[in-house]
Amino acid sequence: MLSAARGAFRAGARRCIGARAVATPARTLPVPRLTAAHAARRSFSVSAPVLSQSNTRGVVVQAISSVASQREVQQYLSLFTSVESQKFAVIKVGGAILTDYLDELCQSLAFLYEVGLFPIIVHGAGPQLNKLLEDAGVEPQFEEGIRVTDAKTLAIARQLFLEENLNFTKKLEDYGVNVRPATAGVFYADYLNKDKWGYVGKITKVNTDIIEGAINRGCLPVLTSLAWTADGQLLNVNADVAAAELARALEPLKVVYLSEKGGLFDGDGSKISTINLDEEFDWYMGQEWCKYGTRLKIKETKQLLDTLPRTSSVAIIHPRDLQKELFTDSGAGTLIRRGGKFLTATKVSEFGDLAKIKEAFLRDHTDDPEAKTQMENYFDYLSKDVNFKAYYDEHVRVFAVVLPPKQDGGLAKLATLTMTSGGWLSGVADTIFAAIRKDHKKLVWVVDDNDENISWFQEKADGAVNQNGKVFFFYGVQDMNEVVPAMNQFFKEGNATLYSEGDMAKVEQLSSGVSTSGATRPVSRSQGQQIRSYHTSPRRPTVTQPFRTSRGPAFSRSYVSTTNPNPPLGKKNASNTKQAKVALIGARGYTGQALITLLNSHPHMELKHVSSRELAGKKLEGYNKSEIIYENLSPEDMTDMEESGEIDCWVMALPNGVCAPYVNAIYQGRRGRSDAVNSVIVDLSADYRFDDSWTYGLPELVSRESISQAKRISNPGCYATGAQLAISPLLEHVGGQPWISGVSGYSGAGTKPSRKNDTSFLADNMLPYSLTDHMHEREISRQLGVDVAFVPHVAPWFSGIQLTIGIPLNKTMNSRDIRHIYQDRYAGERLVKIIGEPPFVKDIANKHGVEIGGFQVHSSGKRVVVCATIDNLLKGAATQCLQNMNLALGYAEYDGIPIM
């Protein structure tokens, strides 16, 4: 559930409007038109179709598909439904946005409108006004950054603002949005300084009745930044200032400034994702690069947020990213919030108000008669010379306990985290997690694998392993062997992993983990300080087993998808309770070593035999479950082992063309068995990829049910896996021969010396090879049913493949539609990630899935280029092998696999 908290950090919450039975028509106010010459200067598109109520649903579907997941959209809608409609968001739209990005903005606003959200929009027209003044021979004048407005400037500004408001609202109507232009009666002002700036106003009153009336009638309010004095004189007000004053009057959850740049940027030119003012304001003010507009915007935002509730935040984003900012965990632009300062303690006696902290532990358990006793036991445990560090804010909206490692460089363990809605809405929880990460370079924690917000944990973690309904997360670990003992301990002992030996009995009743209750329930206006929940059981209080949610199934994560025709089986496949005995034949290569590493942390599989002619007699390194000595198994040995039932799964990691004698030996052993139980064979070579009697083991594209019943599985090739996943969703739209350019790290050439794995030859070089008729070309073509052209290359990095694929289309398409096709096809997949930009090899190396992105469509609309990356040793070989083994042996599909 922590990603829900992350979402709240970025977004805030509001009350949802019920579905409208009849849409209220927009009331268009009569306003004077500007000249035809001005109209001709406008560059926005006027080709948007008029959408009916049903057609607007298509906009909603597109918007949902454009963000990370439908779960996130549902969750944020729930969060936004906690306040009155007018308290959702104030959006300031600059004149340049109206000129250059009007269609994108209207589409985003149409989505918000369709789902019952009513932001209040304030727009300016500064660039257009500068141009009109220039055409009229009036030179713009500014004093201290404020436009000097004389009578002629004011007259031109008034006509322009009304024109821009009319064009904006008409465009919104084209997108099916009921609008209410509010060009008068909202802002009242006095002269800022008439002698210095002329007709420029300082807002003294905001009339919110007009805004509330528009929303109550189902209309989106669209305001200009013009204001009036008490005696009716029109005054010009900067749109940023008007938006800020409107925010002070309404106290919304979000104040959004739309910007062409899409955010604020640091001294290196990188976009600043989040600014927590309580902790970071002084730091930013002290940076040499923080000057001019960036410095002013941070200072003005602080002045604004200091007058708003802590749940309010300011976002600076590009108009095309409005949905992503509001409806995803990661956001899109720069989010500025007050955040919160925190306290720490390493002894119970250091807690300033222990009673308040204990109360925090009980706030979700007032109906549990045993909760108080359990809570006292927990604090007694912490009082008895336990080495811990607690993190919390002065109001105890967030409270976390970390158990440091027993020795330098070891793994810290997050044992407790509890937070209220105020804690996550104000950013305190995010600040505290950042502090934990700063103090503890290596951390482990555990989450239930069906948590609908598990993606938030993935963002926090460097790696994860899924087993028996739990995901073991970690960060800061460079060597997997370092974390394996902690994984194994957790799989054996559960919550006891988080405590010293013998201590678990003292806190056994407190093992419900991270608690911030009610997270999956919609926020009620009457609940006030609602508490978010991450319980392992609904009746236990917070403490030891981190990050599980069992309350409120409304948004529970599911592997079942209505758009994925072959969804993951996940833990539904887990029917085998016995340990599987594995034999690895040919373990010298890189793939064999990668598989050994994975099996070392697998909860249900044990290596029993590892065969390598060259390494026979040596100890197997990197496997800690038992001592294994390399053997040189003959086909006869394998026949005897199969006949006696000694092995449950054979993994053939041999070079191409040499596997048949060993497979035939296993067949011979099967004929001599007294039972009907046969072992599973997974072949990593290409020997059986073209044999229909073997099951082709690509679970995302081949029926998972068929793989789960298979006894002979041919593992796909690395290039072939990435290419098929990148082409398959578009098969019905393919209009010609796809071409594939593949570049792999040199580990793909194996360990046998050649120019393809000679690092000196490859330095500053790239080697094309097998320019036609490569084995993977035939494999991809056979599996897809479409002839492809494939050219491989080897590059000087170790592992990771970059695929660039051109696909001719049989009809005109656009990149957005194509990306949605991929998102739908791979919905719910844990080892396939769809992204917008082309993926990079450096980001996929040592990762266990495939990233697909790019989706660049030719100007003709009849050809698309798709990019994909895959680690050739993992999802391209060892990880895919383990995924197939899990399915065929009856274990949860992702057991032992760090998910994407």
The catalytic site residues sit at 718
CB atoms within 10 A of CB 681: 25
In angstroms, rounded to a whole number, what is the distance separating the alpha carbons of residues 688 and 696? 9
270: nearest Cα among 206, 334, 222: 334
What would you report as the CA-atom Rg of the chain, rounded to the nearest whole angstrom? 31
Q: Which two tokens mark 508?
A: 């056994």
Element (DSSP H or E) covering residue 285: helix 277-285
- In terms of Cβ atoms closer than 10 Å to its own Cβ (0-12, 13-18, 19+), residue 583 is buried
CA dist 739 to 468, 499, 642, Å? Answer: 41, 55, 43
> How long a stretch of residues is the chain?
900
φ and ψ of 856, to 5 deg: -90, 125
CB–CB of 683/618 below 8 Å? no
In the chain, what is the straight-line distance between the N-terminal and C-terminal CA atoms, in Å? 18
The edge-to-edge listing of strands for the beta sheet with 412-419 is 343-345, 389-392, 398-403, 412-419, 443-448, 470-475, 463-467
Residue 851's beta-bridge partner residues?
833, 869
Look at the block and give the residue holding tokens 């050649």. 754
Beta carbons within 8 Å of 843's beta carbon, 6+ residues apart: 851, 869
DSSP symbols for 813-873: --HHHHHHHHHHHTTT-SSEEE-SSPP-HHHHTT-SSEEEEEEEEPTTSSEEEEEEEE-TT
- Per DSSP, helices labelled H in 396-538 are 421-425, 428-439, 454-460, 480-493
Classified as helix, coil or strand, 618 is: coil
The angle, 0 to 180 degrees and rounded to 10, between the axes of the packed helices 2-11 and 428-439 is: 120
φ and ψ of 447, to 5 deg: -135, 145
